[in-house]
Amino acid sequence: MTILVVEDNDLNRELLARRLKRKGFDVVHAADGIEGVRLARESHPDLILMDMSLPGMDGWQATRVLKSDAATVHLPVIALTAHAMAGDFEKAIEAGCDDYDTKPVDMPRLLGKIERLLALREPRGDSHDPV
């Protein structure tokens, strides 16, 4: 399973990637929303961890772009934010996120959310099977 980590902070991105790799995930990462959207389209990850405070195109807009594109609408997105404010969960869901978590990351809690969303996608079947 591949997870796309969209996070502008180098240290946070590398730490999260290392921890996910230790749990058996392949990890692709992007430093901003524009790169995140591009990599989501190119690498077809199984799930996206999206920081909401990104330079250029923020995570809110990047998620809206992904969820409005037929090629990426099915990708589960977990919003990550260090600025947990009242209403952020609702804002994340409204933007198209499938779940929401706060930073600093509580890895067991985040892994539970990842596993739940990935389980909802299985069984995926072959993409070449007729519908």
Between CA 57 and CA 35 the distance in angstroms is 9
The pLDDT tens digits for 29-79 are 999 999 999 999 999 999 999 999 999 899 999 999 999 999 999 999 999
Mean pLDDT, all residues of the chain: 90
Q: Residue 122 pLDDT more than 70?
A: no
The domains of the chain, with CATH numbers, are 2-121 (3.40.50.2300)
pTM for the structure as a whole: 0.90
Q: Residue 124 pLDDT more than 80?
A: no
